[in-house]
Chain A
């Protein structure tokens, strides 16, 4: 059991708080529902504090509860890895809960109880130290989030989304069941301790890897198992999408790391390559999908796919180096991946909360009807802009740091022994570079169309600033983005114990380097100093401004837009989201989505407008999801005749079964 000094007790209390208020809210409804968010805030901060101390001390605590599987009981363990992800999870939860405080007018028994339960489940996954506890919490996470996705149940789209989501989640869970089954062996050694110590032959390991990649990939949204994200995220309430996209996908990453780095022991040579390729594909496809969207939340969902791909790339690099005994480089790559986990949690939650603010202010998710929101909601705009810069991996914010670290790891490819891997790494680097540029373009589109220009609809015109809770939630996340962007050194050092635990080594200490610069490998190799850069930028920009305003001119006149002398008052003259993406679509979309543009001109003289339409095909969805579904349905229709036979025919079936069994027995005996 657990004594009070044990930090686990703290985490248990946090989880208990969440579950408790979930049950209370479910039981009493009404005003009790309002209890959820304050309690979640408390629980999350408690958990963050505890996890932070655990991470920094790099200590491990375990406990053994008489629950769960009767044979082994419920094993609980918290180490640096789970502590780190605990921090990620609970920061996200904190922000979402803070945003949720603003919902006090639209509390619903369909959302609030499940929100708390969902948060609790995610924390439980991180603490589980046996297969049953892990999968129990894992699937509980899926179920609760399913309930949240279907909260807006009047919407048929939401129902469909929820169905697809829970199906994919269950596929993933079953894959993980297989993985743990294979790891535990027929004897059923389900606790992680015995899994770690177990010896297994390469075939089994291969099975486990395949299963784990499917299981965690479907939760993290790796292509081609990503189908649920673009459906579920728009359907769920925004602070929940923030939680699902920013946090839950990270829990999936945790599962992957836990198995690949901790439970399975030394990875095989090709594993890293597989993870790398998966990551590269998801990164590129994710951002391309995103560019084709004009539903803000779908767009963000696809960017989650992209960022998960980047994280996979980092993990793949780390595995590659690890399998070649280059532990220091493995530590670098792993740090990059984990840093991106952290960053993505921050800016993706921020962006989803921003999207929520927009949705709340205008009731619209479709970019094509937004515009000019920077005027009515300047603060949201600022926060959203910071999120956009961060996710586009632009200096000096945090998104860039993790991608820069990933590039540093890629630059180490010459130290690998095999030529194919040497070449694969820069190839992945190329993909990373390409998708970074595309991501920037995509967020120029997102921010530019939504916040800049002139409003494209009445709803956008009547928009209002978000409530103070939402703003403070976004502000916290934005500040964290800036902080972790400016002082990455501390972050890298904080991951030292984690790397030690998983790889036996860690990156050189950063926080002692002057000017908070980071030098991942060596002074001559590379260095980056976000702090200095931002100081220079601010100083230079400020100085220029002041100089000009004092010594040149400060005169300013407001006037109608010039627009080459032919200004058009109607806002529909502006570029739309689709229009903005059109050149990019022409270049990348023609193959990827077999995009067909069709213009039908009216005959000369007729006054009907010409129509321009684009047809995109989501090949992955059509091939991997629709087609099998259709087959299954066809089969079930065929089989359905067995419901409508006559008694005689049923008797014939029985008779046949009997005779054939008799014959079988006669033959085998």
Chain B
């Protein structure tokens, strides 16, 4: 049964190795999609596994969802980037040479993320995340423009420092487990650590959590550690923006959640709730304010990602079955919706030949299809029905207000601010008289449509399996 687990990790790396040697854009793009698709199949097969863990890998209710999501978005993004990068090459914004290793790196990145998600070993998790980060750094710099290099540099420095802090936290965690579980692998495996959470060394655990929070929090993009995120999103190629927002942030957050589970399982350890709540609220409201000043469309949605990561962190900080459930749901919905938005945004930018919001007008007249996609995406991410985000925000706000009305007011304030900004920009881009120039983009509608349909279904009806996973995970998260 569990060969599928290895498949999820091996397929990407193997195909990466193959893609490195293969020349030519056309072929590699197709192979990329194929490989991602195979990974998806493997990932879907994981759903049939009840639970599984060995000394290196683990499948449980928490990460199964993330793996499936990861592989799924992996496929759609691969599909999308096939058409997107193709267009970029045609218009000559990137040379074939610079995308020589693009698909190899893409697969390697997906593999790394899967490693991080499936790792039953805090070190392995770290390695996966690190690898994914570094690869994305390179991909962000792919356009070789000053802005791109600057963004990549910023991303690298901040991400690197963050990741080192996370590593120190990992060491501390290991030490915390060392007493109880003895030296070597056991002290690093999730399953054992979580099983013996009560016996861990509490002060070390607390110290560890601080470093992990700052370290992985940087990757999650929580303010004030967020600085790399907007530029990386806006300067890199759009498929990478989609992956960053849709997946990498999730993987980082997944790491945080793992540690939160650990620390929540130990009654003596410090309660991370308040810290998470504060960081979440700060990110949410800060990002909401920043949205109003954005002039670059991709940066706009990057900040919206910060906002939503803040909301999710807030939900987990509140804790309790409802809020945790909502947090997990919102995480899933956000990565589906946000990647859909980036797909649309990428094509919009190609259609208008610019990323300046001010230069994008009247899409609903000039490019109805794109307009609908973008519009639905933005309405969905703003938490308007009939899409899934509405359900998660419903749960977060209601449950919070029932417990801490003031916090709920702050959250609502942030959400409304964000809605106002996004709506303002959306209306500006979609409506009014269309402006020149407008190019035609032969975009494949499949990725966007798939995502929108998924979040629409989620908004109306959640499949029972998903619900049970979420509920069990929510219980674990305490």
Contact = CB atoms under 8 A, between A and B. Distances in A.
A and B in direct contact, judged by CB atoms within 8 A:
yes
Interface of A: 66-70, 110, 131-132, 135-137, 139-140, 142-143, 150, 153-154, 156, 159, 162-163, 166-167, 170-171, 174, 177-178, 180-182, 184-186, 188, 190, 207, 632-633, 635-637, 639-640, 642-643, 645, 647, 650-651, 653-654, 656-658, 661-662, 664-665, 668-669
Nearest to A189: B402
Given A70-B467, A150-B427, A658-B165, A651 B157 contact: yes
A174 B399 CA distance: 13
Interface stretch (B40-48, B337-345, B415-423): B415-423
B214 A661 contact: yes
B286 interface: yes
Contacts of A178: 397-398, 401, 405, 408, 412
A186 B293 contact: no
B158 A181 contact: no
A662 B210 contact: yes
Interface string B195-231: 0000000110011011101100010000011011010
Contacts of A633: 292
B273 to A, nearest CB: 13
A535 B213 CA distance: 82
B49 interface: no
Contacts of B441: none
A139 B384 contact: yes
A182 B409 CA distance: 13
B450 interface: no
Contact of B270 (A166, A643, A662, A668): A668
Given A150-B431, A178-B397, A188 B322 contact: yes
A170 B415 CA distance: 10
Contacts, number: 172
B292 A632 contact: yes
A632 B214 CA distance: 29
Which secondary structure dominates chain A's binding surface?
Answer: helix
Contact of A181 (B202, B203, B400): B400
Given A645-B227, A647-B153, A654-B162, A153 B394 contact: no
Interface residues of B, number: 69
Given A174-B412, A639-B286, A662-B210, A67 B158 contact: no
Interface in B428-473: 428, 430-433, 460-462, 464, 467
Contact of B427 (A70, A163, A636, A653): A163
A632 B421 CA distance: 11
A647 B203 CA distance: 32
B96 interface: no
B478 to A, nearest CB: 15
B23 interface: no
Contacts of B18: none
Given A67-B460, A182-B401, A639-B290, A132 B394 contact: yes
Contacts of B460: 67-68
B151 to A, nearest CB: 11
Contacts of A156: 432
B84 interface: no
Contacts of A650: 154, 158, 227-228
Interface string B118-139: 0000000000000000000000
B289 A635 contact: yes
Nearest to B430: A153
Given A656-B224, A665-B209, 11 more contacts: A131-B398, A166-B419, A178-B408, A185-B402, A186-B322, A186-B403, A632-B289, A643-B290, A658-B211, A661-B275, A669-B270
Which secondary structure dominates chain B's binding surface?
Answer: helix
A635 B291 CA distance: 12
Contacts of A642: 224, 227, 286, 290
B427 A643 contact: no
28 contacts: A110-B364, A132-B394, A136-B390, A136-B394, A140-B385, A150-B431, A153-B430, A156-B432, A159-B428, A159-B432, A167-B420, A167-B423, A177-B398, A177-B412, A181-B398, A181-B408, A188-B398, A190-B398, A632-B289, A632-B417, A636-B292, A642-B224, A647-B227, A657-B225, A658-B165, A664-B275, A668-B270, A669-B203
**Which 10 A-B pairs rank lowest in CB-CB distance, beginning with the nearest?**
A181-B398, A153-B431, A181-B401, A650-B227, A636-B292, A636-B289, A640-B293, A653-B224, A70-B467, A178-B401
B158 A665 contact: no
Contacts of A185: 402
A140 B386 contact: yes
Nearest to B426: A163
Nearest to B153: A647
A95 to B, nearest CB: 27
A181 B293 contact: no
Nearest to A186: B402
Contacts of A171: 416
Most buried by A among B213, B292, B400: B292
B391 interface: yes
A159 B291 CA distance: 19
B16 interface: no
Contacts of B291: 636
Interface in B260-294: 270, 275, 286, 289-293
A181 B402 contact: yes
A282 B211 CA distance: 56
A664 B420 CA distance: 35
Contact of B364 (A153, A166, A180, A654): A153
A159 B431 contact: yes
B18 to A, nearest CB: 37
A140 B399 CA distance: 21
A182 B207 contact: no
A333 B189 CA distance: 69
Nearest to B269: A669
A453 B399 CA distance: 60
B125 to A, nearest CB: 21
A310 B381 CA distance: 38
B21 interface: no
